[in-house]
Every structure is written in C-alpha cells, then in structure tokens.
Structure 1
Amino acid sequence: MNFKAQDKQNQLIENITVHHLVVGVDIAQEAHVARAVSFRGIALGHPLEFGSHLEGFKQLGRWIQDLLKSYKLNKVIVGMEPTGHYWFSLARWLIDQGIEAVLVNPHLVKKNKENRDNTPSKSDHKDALVIADMIKNGYYSPVRFQPEAYEELRILMANRETITKRLNAAVNQIHRWVDIVFPELRQVFKILTCAGAIATLRLFPLPSEARRLTREQVISGWKQFMKRHAGVKRADLLIALAKCSVGTTHALHAYKLHLQHLLEEYDLAQRQLEKIKDELQLILKRIPYAQKLLEIQGVSATSLAGILGEAGDLSGYAHGNALLRHAGLNIAEASSGKWKGKMVLSKRGRPRLRHFLYLMTMCMVMTNPEIQALHHYNVKEKKLKKMKSIMKLCGKVARMLVGLAKSNEAYDSTRVFPQVA
C-alpha cells in the first residue's frame, strides 16, 4: 500500500468546513488565552483569558457557545500547542465535552508568527491567533490519548530515562572518587562497577584500611557480596597496591561519607531500574501483538516498550512511513531548479521515539540474520555508507513493526525480507 503524506494533509484541510468555529489556545501554566476565527481565518469575537481549572474550562465552554450562536455556526475545533504537560487537563476536558481537540507543532507556530502582521512580535494573544490560523489551514494533528497500557509504558520509560541519568551521574562520581582516593584500584578491577570493585568500595575503600588486611580477610569480605570471589591473586594485588598508594590522605572521613552516599544512590537506581523492568514485562503481556514482536531476534523488551510508549498503538498507523514521520526519521529534501540539495532527516518528531527505533535497528543489525544480510548488501553491493544503511534499515524495521501489529501475525523472515531468504 502506498502511503502519501499529502493525502493526510488534504483530509485535515477538508475537515474544516464553513460551519466550523476554529479556536486557538495559547497554553500556559496557570492561565490560557483563546482566540477564534472562521474557516477563512477572519477573527471572531474577543480574546478570552481563562484559568487552568474547572471553572476556567467552563468559562471557555460558555465563550464557545456564545460565538457559535452569534455567528450561526454548529461545529467547533479547538487547537493548542503541546506545551510541556500543561495541555493535558484542557485536552481531556474538551474531549469529555464532545469537542474536537487538536495539536499544532510549536516549531510551526514560531515559523508562522509573522503571517498576520509581518512583525516578529510575540504575545499570548497573537500566538493563540496564529494557532487558530494554522488549524484552519490544516496544520494540526488530532489529540489521541492512548489506551492505559501505552500511557503506562510512556510514563515508565520516561522515569527510566531519569533514573538512568542519575545512575550514570553516580557512576561518574564513583570514578572520580577512586581517582582521588585509591587510583590503584583500577589495576585490580578494570571495571569499577563490577561486583568485586563495588564490594571493595563497600568494605575497605581506603588504602589505609586495605593495607592492614590479610588475604583471607579480603576474600572473606568479598564472599559476603559474591558467590564467586575475585580470586587470591587479586586479593594479594589489592593489598600490595594499597601499601604503596598515591591517593590523598586528607579529609578521608568526608571522602568515605561521600562514597557511602554515592553507593546508596547507585543501589537505589539499580533497584528502581529492576522494578521498572519487571513492570514493563507485565504491561507488554497486556498488548496483543507485543509478545509476537518480542519473538523477533534483536527486539528487546526495553526498546519495544520505548517505541510503544512514544508511538502508541502501532496497529493504528496507516503505514510504517507514518511511524517514521512521527519519529522525525522521514527524508527532507532541499532543491531548486538545477540545484539539488542534500537529503537529510527532518527530525520533526519525537526524539525519544527516534532513539528507540535506532537502538532496536542497531541491535537487530548485530543479532538478526536477515537484517545483518540486508546491511551487508547495502554496504557491499549498493556501496552505501554504514550510517546511511542503518537509517534505511530503520525504515524497514518501522514498516515491519507496523505491518506485524496490524496483521497480528508472527514474524516470518521469508515474507518480510524475501530478497534475503
């Protein structure tokens, strides 16, 4: 099936009729501003400022009803920018009232702000009018709140990203601590987050403590945290290096307390990530086609949860190319006359969705035989650069995910990639 973005754009434009009242809302934290135009873009009525609470929403509803009555219109569409999380409550209230709610791209609002008055001025009242103009021209997308399972995935994956940043920050601080206090520990353990290194930092992190221990005491301490200890040679090496350490000998009590807090942060982040991993597994079991997608070699629960959390129900997409546009992985061209510009990715979409599509594709390139063969063919036969091949395979993976979700069939390499079979 051919997918054309222009067809979707035409449908959005045709949706706005002569009977429509088009309302643009500039979203803020506490107070919003609404402006209304006709289907031709003629400003109607006066601007409305209303609060982000139930009484404010009811005020907006009465304002809309007055305009519909005054201008003899019978349909209404309300659009807004997805500004942070401040638009959630208003959008849900509008949908509950049976009012069509849509979103406009903040980047396009910025680009179109000079259309009305040919000035770069910016205000809440002007932004609301610009948003209304964009809606009547078809530059909007419907608000679709996903089923609970997909919303849970989005929340958990966003939380996972925050926890991962905290974990990385704690690990970096641990590396800094070791470089200052006990730099020789890197000669004992190449990876400072391995079980042996973490056990050492918990039990005897200071060289002055390690140098007083015997081999048996070091091994006995390691056994408290590991089923298999790091070995006799490493225990001897640890003691020997502690005796000739060049680490600092000042403010050791403060350094030890700092390390204790870093290890607590490290442990907390690890437990939270494990809890999120278990929750993701349970949620994916509630999505009908998710288990069949997980059977594909190279598709992990984390990457699939990230894609479903950002993209929502894949079976609702008309084509895999629509998923690519949602992620901003569609091709953008700049050319004029004889001049042919460079083809680039538009990156007008969800960055987290791009991230997980890329990760899934890279994992499949490394582990999935069919994707490996396609990548090898692109690089060796078509002479594509490796990154161009990866981006092309991202499109292949997106179309595969949407196709399998819509058909709810199991993965079949001979059907999905017949040229490689």
Structure 2
Amino acid sequence: MVNGSGVSRGDRSRNARLSRLRELVSAGRAIVGVDLADSKQMVVVTDHDSRVVARRTFRCRAWDLGAALDWAAAQAARQGFVGVTVACEPTGHRWRVLGQLAAERGMPFVCVQPLVSSWARRGEDLTFDKTDDKDAVIIARLTAQLRCYVPEPVEETWGRLRHLGARREQLVSELVGQVQQMRDLLECVWPAVLASAAQPFKSRTWAAALTVVLDRDGGDFARTRRLGRARFEAQVRKEVVRWGAQKPCLRIARKVFDALADPAGVLAHRRGALERVALVLEDWHLTAGRCAQTETRMVAVLDELELTELVTSIPGLSPVGAAAILAETGDLHRFTSARAVVKHAGLAPREKASGGFVGRTKLTGQGRPGLRLAAWRAAWGVLQHSPVHAARYQHLTGRAENRLTPTQAQAAVAAALLRQLHAVVTTGRRWDPDIAAHGVARPALAPAA
C-alpha cells in the first residue's frame, strides 16, 4: 500500500523505527560497545564513525560493570560528548544485567543481533578472526549504523509468564521424549499392549493397567495372569485414581490383560526393557503433574493480566494455548502491527522476485521458533472449533489455482490466529467472527416492520 508520495506502509514503519533508534543513538552521544563474557568484559568507547576513543578490559562479573559504565561516561565527556549509548549482544543472561545497570544511570541501551555481528565480522577484513577487541568495535559500529534494536522492557508479571512458558516448554519436551522412549521399548518387547487402546498414552486406564503389570512381575506375565481378570480389574480401579481418573475403562483394562498371553516380542530383552518402561512411566507421571501445575500458574498469570476472557473469545483457543503464545511474544502492545507479530514468529511469507522473475513464496522460518511452535499447536484446536478458521482452511486447500498443501494452510491459519490475537489484546475487544472473516463488522439487520 502506497500513498501519493510513493512511500509504502513498510517504508513508514521503518522510518518510524529508525527515528526512535536515532533518539537513543543520537549524534551527541558516544557509543559504548561491550563484549560480554563470564569474568572478562571488553569495553570500547567510539564515535559515530566507529573511531575508538577509549578501550579497556575489565576483569569482573557482569554485576560489577557499573564501574565500567562510569569509566566510559567519563571518557566520552572528555571528548565533548553529552552522554553515551550502551550496546551489546543479547547472549546469555548478562545483557539483562548490563541493561539494568545502564537504566540506573540513565544511559540508553540497545542490542545488536549476534547473527548481524557475525556477518559484519566476516565483512570487516574478509577473515574469520574473532577476538573480544574486534567484537566490541563491531558492536559499536553496527549501533552507529542503527543496525540494532531496543530490547523488550519486561514488566514483572509478563516476565513471570515468560519464565513459566519456558518451564512448560521444557516439560512438554520431556513428556514427548518419555512417550517416544516407552513406545520404542514396548514395540520391541511387548507390542500387543500398544494395541489395547486406540491412543494408549492418552488413556489413564491404559497407564494404570500398565503400572499394575510392571509393578507385579517385571516381565514375567504368568504371575499377573494368575490373578485372574476380576482381581486384575480391581487393582486397576485402585491405581487409576492415582492417575487422576474416577473409574477405569474396563474394555481397555481387559485388553491389556488379554495382551499378557501374546508371545510377540524380543523375549531376551523383555525383562530389562520393561524395567526401563516402569522407570520412565513413573517419570512420565511426575512430569505430567509438574506440567499441569505449571499450566495452572500460567492461566493464573493470564487472569492477573485480565486477558483470559479476551483471548479465549477466539473459538478453540484455550487459556493454556493463549498463555503459551503470550509467553513467547510478551506484551503485544510493543508490536507496531499484527504483521510484526507474524514476522516475529517466522510465519510471514518470503517474497522472491527480481525483474520479471517471480519465485516460489515460502515462509521465512526466521524469528522466534518457540512462538512459531506455540501458534502451530494452537491452530489445531482453532481449526476444530472455529467455523471461520475452518472455512479459511478449506478455501486455501480446495481452490483450483494456487492450492496450498495442508501444512501450508495450517501455517496460514496459525499466522491469522496471531494477527487476530494481536487485535484482540491491543484493542481490548472480544473476537468478532464477522471481522475475522470479512475484515469489517457487518451491520445488524433492521427489524422487519
């Protein structure tokens, strides 16, 4: 979209961003480039032509860098600068410490992406040299060129949601790994038990029955078979309560009992493999409990932010799914547009055109992988419960021209979900199916006379 001057919306957004950066990296301020490490910090003070004014190595931890910033400010004042702008790469946790120290002294603070500095390092002298001295100068030079960004200001509640989201993602990864490990072991030594339920790892009855079997005989199924079906079901009834269910599905419990007589499997490994399954099964149970507790905390934070009712107005988007997305994005008000959120997730299409050539459009794949994964997971529930998104998916996969694959269409729905979530949060209005489907709210029909 362009106006009469030929300036596009993207141009205006970029110009506004550069103006905000220029206020922080003003010509009257020197630039302090800091290459952070564990106990050795390289600090350089440069002008806007990346000429080094002062350089010094500080043998200290990140929390002791306040003295380095005071030294840099004094060096800049001697050269006639009115202040300094602090810049570093956002690696590890030390950059947050440096940002807080700079804020306490009223110094603007910006970050340079490590990937950008890596490319600049190669273009500096066409070598792959990497030293703390060079890196600090490169950080300062990129800052002077405004190839930097302002890090997200973290509010306490949003910061807590971020940490809980990281905790949940770690637990979900552990859950998936534990399920895959149990599946592989059971397919090797006792494949019949996996066929006793349509989705065994989603069945609490199946998990309880497997626990009873593994706790009794450790691979010798004859002992459990001697119990008989009735006594086995009675023990499953007791065990299923520990797994969070009120009563078992007897059909699944009976199929697990019948699988005890199936001879299929590598018998030489059965005892050892089932012992591993028993250990992993208990770990899986504990991890699932920790994950549920973390999700409860995330929903409580969403309630504290007063966003639960807004975000769950989107059909199919659960409070946990919305909290997982917001844990990756942070406060959506910091994004200038909904498209910026989609770019942040790496779900924006990448154009490839030159002259008369137009290449195949693909997703950028850049941005925040955790946000992309959270949006992808949430899209599955939205497709099941939202007629608007289901219709969009059918349109994208069913049209004759430029038909998308199911995976591409799901990615498009995930991107649409992020845009709508941004609109809901920033405007404070509930999700409107008319706006989501048509871009505008349709006027209500007048009552018949």
Tell me if TM exceeds 0.5: yes
Q: Tell me the equivalent position of 2:278.
A: 260
Q: Secondary structure at the match of 2:55?
A: strand
1:58 Cα deviation from its structure 2 partner:
2.5
Alignment partner of 1:76 is 2:95: no
- Counterpart Cα distance in 2 of 1:399 and 1:171: 33
User: What is the aligned counterpart of 1:332 among 350, 353, 357?
Assistant: 350
- The CA RMSD over aligned residues, in Å, is 2.7
Quickly say closer, same or farther: Cα 1:244–1:343, change in 2 above 3 A: closer
- Counterpart Cα distance in 2 of 1:233 and 1:18: 73
Q: Tell me the equivalent position of 1:51.
A: 60
Q: Secondary structure at the match of 1:35?
A: strand
What CA deviation, in whole Å up to 9, does each residue of 1:307-349 have, x standing for no partner? Answer: 2112111123221122123223334334444444443333331
- Counterpart Cα distance in 2 of 1:334 and 1:51: 47
Confirm or deny: 8 A CA contact 1:12 1:138 kept in the other structure.
no
Quickly say closer, same or farther: Cα 1:341–1:122, change in 2 above 3 A: farther
Q: Tell me the equivalent position of 1:345.
A: 363
1:169 Cα deviation from its structure 2 partner:
2.3
Alignment partner of 1:39 is 2:48: yes
Q: Which 5+ residue runs of structure 1 have no aligned equivalent?
A: none
- Counterpart Cα distance in 1 of 2:307 and 2:252: 51
Q: What is the letter of the counterpart of residue 275 of structure 1? A: Q
- Counterpart Cα distance in 1 of 2:197 and 2:397: 38
1:269 Cα deviation from its structure 2 partner:
0.4
Alignment of 1:9-408 (within 5 A): 9-12=17-20, 14-15=22-23, 16-55=25-64, 57-193=65-201, 194-205=203-214, 206=219, 207-226=221-240, 227-231=246-250, 235=254, 238-247=256-265, 255=273, 257-381=275-399, 383-386=402-405, 387-408=407-428
TM-score, L = length of structure 1: 0.89
Confirm or deny: 8 A CA contact 2:346 2:365 kept in the other structure.
yes
Confirm or deny: 8 A CA contact 2:182 2:280 kept in the other structure.
yes
- Counterpart Cα distance in 1 of 2:21 and 2:256: 72
Quickly say closer, same or farther: Cα 1:106–1:347, change in 2 above 3 A: farther
1:257 Cα deviation from its structure 2 partner:
4.4
- Counterpart Cα distance in 2 of 1:317 and 1:230: 48
1:265 Cα deviation from its structure 2 partner:
0.5
Confirm or deny: 8 A CA contact 1:175 1:192 kept in the other structure.
no
Quickly say closer, same or farther: Cα 1:218–1:349, change in 2 above 3 A: same
- Counterpart Cα distance in 2 of 1:187 and 1:397: 36
Quickly say closer, same or farther: Cα 1:77–1:329, change in 2 above 3 A: farther
Q: With CA pairs under 8 Å and 6+ residues apart, which has the higher RCO, 1 or 2?
A: 1
Q: Secondary structure at the match of 1:87?
A: helix
Q: Secondary structure at the match of 1:175?
A: helix
Confirm or deny: 8 A CA contact 2:110 2:149 kept in the other structure.
yes
Q: Secondary structure at the match of 2:146?
A: coil
- Counterpart Cα distance in 2 of 1:211 and 1:416: 58
Q: What is the letter of the counterpart of residue 43 of structure 1? A: V
- Counterpart Cα distance in 2 of 1:394 and 1:267: 31
